[in-house]
Structure 1
């Protein structure tokens, strides 16, 4: 697999979340079966899936966000320092991540 083509949303997942997605796929998307695998309830699994959906949506938003694009453009043009651009984008990303409902 070409790592350059792995979507950002996938790279943003924790190891635990990647395993969860793997087991979800192996269970053919059966929340009931997944609840059995994790020895937990259907609503708990549903909540984890909803949280993953939110995380993926936010990650996609980061890729297409005009603020991030503007900061990157200013950095490329030499109008702001690379470290400043990196810090601003990181803090902005953290603020977006805080939108994920627990």
Structure 2
């Protein structure tokens, strides 16, 4: 008997992300309650939730374009600025298009 498989969208999430999701669910989706638990403002929780949504969406795209998903994930995690991410993705796509034309 095999154990449960981890959905691809979850592989992009770290322990901190999973803890946030757990707290969010236990708070019945109340961002106000989560903000109080973390001791931060509502907009801070909203931003964190938006970034988690982006990570999950990227996780679903990961199998199709791993390099692009990686660059987007780095940008979402503030490890790469969005301008640089856009340049890297644009250049990568140009190389793919150039290879396809040969």
**TM-score bin (small chain):** 0.5 to 0.7
Residue 35 of structure 2 corresponds to: 35
CA RMSD of aligned residues (A): 2.2
Any residues of structure 2 matched to 1:36-75 within 5 Å, and which?
Answer: 36-63=36-63, 65=64, 67=65
Question: Which segments of structure 1 move beyond 4 Å, counting only runs of 4 or more?
Answer: none
1:53 offset after TM fit, Å?
A: 0.3
User: Structure 1: 5+ residue runs without aligned partners?
Assistant: 68-88
Residue 46 of structure 1, CA deviation = 0.1
Q: Given the alignment, which residue of 62, 72, 80 partners 1:96?
A: 72
Give the number of equivalent residue pairs: 77
Q: Gaps spanning 5+ residues in structure 2: where? A: 79-102
Q: 1:63-99: per-residue Cα shift (whole Å, max 9, x none)? A: 3x1x4xxxxxxxxxxxxxxxxxxxxx4x554223234
